[in-house]
Amino acid sequence: MKQTPVKETHQPFVSDIQELRKRAREHMEKGAVTDAYKADRETVIRILNEVLATEIVCVLRYKRHYYMATGIHAQAVAEEFLEHAKEEQEHADVAAERITQLGGEPNLNPEGLSTRSHSQYVEGKSLLDMVREDLVAERIAVESYNEIIRYLGDDDPTTRRAMEKILGKEEEHADDMKKLLETLSKDERFFEAKS
């Protein structure tokens, strides 16, 4: 049996390296934003400013909860609040840095912060209320960040990867708050039964 030769159709990775070099020199003021960037840059910057506001609101809420935690479990729960506050600040920094990479300006103006944020700033009266509010906020972040990731798709892989990393941490935070809520709820029921 005679074999027909298979014609290899390898396309070069970069069709014209000289053209690539020429394009890299054009519009250098755009920095990392090249013609390969397919997303609507202004929309991505607006979304990232909403993420930035969301993360700042979360930092503030977790910090308040850290300082206001009282009760038998206060110390352990407060430490969890503080850890989450630090991680939310890291997320805010990632969003702000990416905004500047895209040629935008991070909106750190406290005026309007709560309206730009996806989550709300709810103080909570008891330790259990605080944990509930933090869990609600984490669930909001998880859902909205999933939407952002789907929106970005392949049009902005760098922002998408950053959001995926943040999302992973937010899911971890939600799980932490769920476990704390379960523990505190059991203890509350126990103490109510003893009264």
pLDDT of residue 164: 98
Average pLDDT for consecutive 10-residue bins of the chain (195 residues)? 58 64 70 77 97 98 96 92 98 98 96 95 93 97 98 96 98 96 76 45
Please tell me whether the overall predicted TM-score, pTM, comes out greater than 0.85 for this model. Answer: no
Domain ranges of the chain: 50-194
Instruction: Find the helix packing angle between 41-68 and 127-152, rounded to 10°.
Output: 170
Superfamily of domain 50-194: Ferritin, core subunit, four-helix bundle (1.20.1260.10)
The pair of structure tokens assigned to 106 is: 């991070």
